[in-house]
Amino acid sequence: MNRFAASALSAALLTTLLAPATSARPLGWDRGPYGDRDFPRAAPQVEGKVEVATFLADNIDPASLGQGTIAMVPAATGAGSESDGSLKVFEAALLDQLARHGYDTQSRATAAAQTAEVRIVREVAVPEEAPHKPVSGEMTMGVSNRGSMMGMAVAVDLSKPRKALMATRLEARIRNAADGTVIWEGRAEMRTRDESKQWTEQRIAEKLAGALLDRFPSPRSVALAR
């Protein structure tokens, strides 16, 4: 190595040793070792979306549906089915939709050519959140060539725990009154936050009934973002 190269290398080493130490990133509200940590993120937005599946019986002409007389009759209840008081809201919403699709809904069950049955099932899709910690934080310590350092991040969370996410499923069947044969059936399900002021029972019933018979009587299986 010649004298010029040796002098250049010595100068470079000296500059490196004398350069002031720098931290990786300055601390701040949205920067530093705490600002980009993985906080729990909210679940994908599913509230208010309706999933629908409908089925038309074999050898049934779709033209035979949506006309003539139809009446609501009690359905066999099962585990998770709603009480009579709540069920009336959904029956009324479905009857309203059947009338819009061409049915005469004013006939008595004994005189109607077809009958409709409704069953409502509610389940807890996501449990209610546990109480939040109002204040939480983390601390870090380190040593550099400029001395020791200490940092602290404090998070304040005053939000209320989210209520349970409830799944409501509307199940409906249409039968020939003469022999009780099921000619059409479907189900529509949506999720809403428990005790939500936005999603009253009436609004849930209307949305589920409207989605269920949106393309009646064509069979389909589709998710609606409505």
Q: What is the DSSP string of 58-100?
A: TT--GGGSSSSBEEE-PPPP-TTBPPHHHHHHHHHHHHHHHHH
Q: Would you say residue 214 lies in a domain? A: yes
For the segment 190-213, what is each residue's pLDDT rounded down to a tens digit?
A: 999 988 888 999 999 999 999 999
Nearest to 216 by CA among 54, 70, 72, 49: 54
Containing structural domain, residue 195 = 50-125+165-224
DSSP secondary structure string, 97-108? HHHHTT-B--S-
> CA-CA distance, 72 to 100, in Å (whole number)?
15
Q: How confident is the model at residue 120 (pLDDT cuts 50, 70, 90)?
A: very high
Residue 15 located in a structural domain: no
What mean pLDDT comes out for the span 125-131?
Answer: 77
Residues 66 and 93 sit within 8 Å (Cβ to Cβ) = no
Q: Which residue has the higher pLDDT, 226 or 146?
A: 146
How many domains are there within the chain?
1
* Residue 207 buriedness (CB in 10 A; 0-12 / 13-18 / 19+): buried
Residue 137 counted as domain residue = no
Sorted by sequence, the CB contacts under 8 Å of residue 207 that are 6+ apart come out as 48, 50, 190, 226
CATH number at residue 207: 3.30.160.670
d(CA 54, CA 41): 34
Long-range contacts from 31-40, C-beta under 8 angstroms, 24+ separation: 32/151, 32/153, 33/140, 33/151, 33/153, 34/138, 34/151, 34/153, 35/153
Distance CA(189)–CA(197), nearest Å, equals 19
pLDDT band at residue 150 under the 50/70/90 scheme:
low
Give the pLDDT confidence score for residue 220 in this predicted structure: 58
Residue 77 within a domain: yes
Its pTM stands at: 0.65
The Cα–Cα gap between 211 and 206 comes to: 9
pLDDT digits (tens, 9 = 90+) for 15-60: 444 444 433 333 333 333 323 333 333 344 588 899 999 999 988 8
Tell me the pLDDT band of 143, cut-offs 50, 70 and 90. Answer: low
Is residue 149 situated within a structural domain? no
Quick check: is 7 in a domain?
no
Least confident of 6-10, 19-23, 120-124: 19-23
Asked whether residue 160 is assigned to any structural domain, the reply reads: no
Please check whether residue 39 lies inside any domain of the structure: no
What letter represents residue 169's amino acid? R
pLDDT in the model for residue 149? 64
